Structure 1
Amino acid sequence: MTMKKFFGLTLAFLMLFSLAACGLFGGDDPNDQDPTNGKTIDLQGQDFIIFADSPLTADPRSDRYAGLNQDAKIALIAAVEAKYNINVVYRGFPSNATWGGARERWIINNVVTGSPAGHIYQVASTSVPTLARAGAILDLTDLIGQYGDPDFPESKKQFGRFLDGHYIYDDLLPLNTIGIYYNMDLLEELGYDKDLPSQMWLDGNWNWQTFETLAKDLDAAMSDREDHYVIGGRTYNWSYSMIHANGGFIVNDQLDVGVLEQEGLAAVQFVADLYHEVRWRSESSLSLTVEQEFVDGRVVFHNGEFWYAFNDARFGNRSFNNLGFVPFPTGDHTAADLSNYSNMIQFGPASYVISRGYEKENIPVGFEDFFIHDELIFQIWSEMQYFGDPEDALLEFELGLLSYYGSDLSVEAHMDVIQKLSNDLFYSFGADAYGQIEGSMMLLFESSVKQNNVRETMEIVRPILEQLIEERFID
């Protein structure tokens, strides 16, 4: 049912209700029921609908809730339900909107047809440009200023920026789970201290030059092992992270393209040079991107994410015992204080956006407190967020690392970069960016390394990106 039809069916009731609320029918002044702002907002038991990837793990009231501050968030939900007379409902996305572009199209279609399915949607932050450009989600810039919590962290806020707007708001703290994983047992077997890479990072001595030197030394040390490799993993994944560790970007939130900037070019060229200097295995399935040789204990270094450590399709079934971690090395353009050092979450962190289609200006004057509208949606959602001490989230994550990493030094090295993230919109371009088909930019990055024609390939990638930006995101 569209908002206009709903207004028509309920307007008479609300006029009657408003008379009662004004005390014309006798009874207590309803303003006494709400000590906040001196007025009652009664939404008559309407559902406040939040679509999430997994409702059971997203809803704090569920036994399977996977977040932090569960008791506090349960109390906040109870408070808004009582204050606004609503029912907070978490729902899962339908089968035709499970992820990525399919979810974007579903959200857009619902809003465009005048029937938004929910008030809040969980999306990957790289979906923001597409949803914002389609007019499917709300620009929250003014609402954050009016109702937002001052503790809304910049580390998360950055992922909601797109051009001049801001589109996400939630209390999920993004963490850098990405880095270089290494086989500590193999490293020791080859005659090196098992903590050497992590210690080099902590000593401030993990950069392109020292990484290259170690890689070449390891290559020489395994010269009699034809089935062993120094490095494993798809070279495009290595390239993305090296670019950001070197202070670069691919596409930033202002839609600037950085692949031909020195920070980006130099980083991919470093990967290409190293690929041709040492034994590097980069032949894995594009859907799994993990080399079996690393799992089998025959590769020293492999790019990855923390969840790989316990996922059986990634590193979970590894044949060796001790898994180490070291951040990507600093590059020639990395600032000495690491202020421009970051990493790229390819699809961006899980984030929550607010649906368009509930515009306050479409509600008859005087009835704004009886219908769920955009401003009220943000107000309710904001009051459901709990911005606790970020150290609590960091401590919980650190405890998880201790369970899977082979030494405290690996944990310390990871925690040293735990919040070093930047918002890169490269994967906002969908299959053009990450498609497993010839011509996708992901595979162009791969070929630029393997064929060692980095500049020539980036001169192809940049106009592709600029054309896509013009077609999709520019008026």
Structure 2
Amino acid sequence: MVKRALKIVLFIGFAALFVSCGNKKNLTEEEKALFKEYKSVKLEKDPNTKKVYDFEGMEIIVADWWSPSDGLDNAEPVNPVDEDTKKFHKFLKVAYNVDIDTYGIGGWGAHPQTVANFCTTGGDENYVFIIDNRSLTTGMKGNLFYDLSSITSIDWSNPKWDKATTDLTTKDGRFYGMRPMASEPRVGVFFNKRLLKEAGIDPETIYDLQKESKWTWETFEEMLKKTTRDLDNDGAFDTYGMANLSTEFCYLAAMSNGTSYIGKDSNGKYFNNIGNDKTLEALSWAARMKQAYEKPQPEGANWDWMYAAFINGEVAFQVDQQYRVGNIADMQDDWGFVCFPLGPNGDGKYATLAQDNIYVIPACYDKERAEKIAKAFDLYTTEVPGYDDDSSWKEDYYSRFRDERAVDETLQLMRDNPKPRFDTMIIGINQVGEVIWNVYGGGQTPQEAYEATKNHYQGLIDEMNN
């Protein structure tokens, strides 16, 4: 009798769990197993109904240009983390009665037009578009994206929402873009350990300096000077301190000195910041480093010659994107990776510039539809149980880097302090190239470059602000 009563209680409790999930269909054995596995997950309730959110089978397409056309959750897992994520997504879809997945629609080249067309004309599909700067600038100017700050059912203070993305897409006190994950570690400084050792420098000291906040413009220049060497006394350098893409170096030089080329004020208005003393100082320093320690571009070489120079062990340092680890995976010399050194007028914190894809919802949707899509996306991006450890993101990076310190220390610093790049929001400013290319190449002083471009740039900025 006791056993039978216990069975009845368990049955009723389990059935109540299924009903409370807002799921209106009969559960399969696989789905029952998922509910059992994730029984500790607290499902969110709709404050209007006081019941678990039920999206009544709503179909939502998270659209990018690279995912499988039949859905990312349907693809074979690439690692244990991906496998656990896909399984948890399956549970969330059943629990909240929503059909949501990430699909590749079209290709990279066509994506901006696809986004613009739908946001303008609308349609039956329920989209969350993943975009890059090609769509962001025109979309913000054309009011194509929904005001996410008006959606109160989402806790935007949740740490999963990337602050750099919010800052970048804020206009007149409202924000239009979201990113439910930390900013990806981006630009830093690669270094060749062999060349450093041959110049009498222990490569580990760079990590030590970074850890002690003593990796600065000054200590960087000391190492550049030591690694720019004439080995055979013939009057010509045989190894050089560095070789860089000019824009990557100059963006980081400004950032590290507490400034930027284009700024944004508290009212969300952009302004030309090139004439700022900190920016001029950063440009002057960058040009001096290039003149004194950078390997000259070989005659007839392509624009990307600097990448081969680093791989071939001809230069000791290179400022570059973190993702280029794939290109140097088979490099014969050992290498490491640190943040860009601190400038004399920065805030004393290591950082990187955020250059992430952004998630937006079309402004053509009415309030009810947009809020449903946004809330479903918020719930779908709930953190996977078991991966709430702050260090779990590192697992995918360890195999790509040769030093654990590059992951544990450098990438961690970058994730903790991403800075937005506002020049990417100004249509036609072309990476501030007119300034950077001329100054880094030695054709103009920073002040001359600023004076030569300020009127043109101001017109572009005014157009974006208005």
Regarding TM over 0.5, the answer is yes
SS at match of 1:130: helix
Residue 173 of structure 2 corresponds to residue 164 of structure 1: yes
Please name the residue that 1:271 is paired with: 286
Kindly state the Cα deviation for residue 238 of structure 1 after the two structures are TM-superposed: 0.3
**Aligned positions, number:** 411
**What are the within-5 Å matches in structure 2 for residues 68-467 of structure 1?**
71=84, 74-76=87-89, 78-80=91-93, 83-84=96-97, 86-95=98-107, 98=108, 103-115=111-123, 118-124=126-132, 127-143=135-151, 145-148=152-155, 150-151=157-158, 152-153=160-161, 154=163, 156-220=165-229, 222=231, 224=233, 226-253=237-264, 254=268, 255-281=270-296, 285-286=302-303, 288=304, 290-311=306-327, 315-320=328-333, 322-336=334-348, 338=349, 341-345=350-354, 348-360=355-367, 373-387=369-383, 395-415=391-411, 417-418=413-414, 419-429=416-426, 432-434=429-431, 441-442=432-433, 444-451=435-442, 452-467=444-459
Tell me the amino acid that sits aligned with residue 266 of structure 1.
Answer: E
Q: Would you say the 8 A contact 1:343–1:421 is kept in 2?
A: yes
SS at match of 1:50: strand
In 1, Cα distance between equivalents of 2:425 and 2:275? 19
Which digits, 9 at most, give the CA deviation of each residue in 1:116-157, with x for residues without a partner?
Answer: 7651101126743421221221110021x3323542443553
Q: 1:201 to 1:44 in 2, by over 3 A?
A: closer
Q: Would you say the 8 A contact 1:190–1:222 is kept in 2?
A: no
Kindly state the Cα deviation for residue 194 of structure 1 after the two structures are TM-superposed: 2.6
In 1, Cα distance between equivalents of 2:254 and 2:85? 39
Tell me the amino acid that sits aligned with residue 239 of structure 1.
Answer: C
In 2, Cα distance between equivalents of 1:335 and 1:42? 47
Q: Would you say the 8 A contact 1:230–1:299 is kept in 2?
A: yes
In 2, Cα distance between equivalents of 1:32 and 1:211? 59
- Mean Cα displacement is larger for which, 169-178 or 108-117? 108-117
Q: 1:79 to 1:181 in 2, by over 3 A?
A: closer
Tell me the amino acid that sits aligned with residue 94 of structure 1.
Answer: G
Which digits, 9 at most, give the CA deviation of each residue in 1:192-223, with x for residues without a partner?
Answer: 21323222222332212222222122224657
TM-score where L is the length of structure 1: 0.75
- Mean Cα displacement is larger for which, 327-336 or 292-301? 327-336
Q: 1:172 to 1:204 in 2, by over 3 A?
A: closer
Q: Would you say the 8 A contact 1:158–1:422 is kept in 2?
A: no
Q: Would you say the 8 A contact 1:198–1:326 is kept in 2?
A: yes
**Identity of matched residues, %:** 16
In 1, Cα distance between equivalents of 2:207 and 2:401? 11
TM-score where L is the length of structure 2: 0.77
Q: 1:359 to 1:186 in 2, by over 3 A?
A: same
Tell me the amino acid that sits aligned with residue 319 of structure 1.
Answer: Q
- Mean Cα displacement is larger for which, 270-279 or 70-79? 70-79
Q: 1:211 to 1:256 in 2, by over 3 A?
A: same
- Mean Cα displacement is larger for which, 105-114 or 300-309? 105-114
In 2, Cα distance between equivalents of 1:244 and 1:408? 26
SS at match of 2:153: helix
Kindly state the Cα deviation for residue 413 of structure 1 after the two structures are TM-superposed: 4.1
Q: Would you say the 8 A contact 2:206–2:215 is kept in 1?
A: yes
Kindly state the Cα deviation for residue 235 of structure 1 after the two structures are TM-superposed: 1.9
Q: 1:72 to 1:246 in 2, by over 3 A?
A: same
In 1, Cα distance between equivalents of 2:90 and 2:67? 15
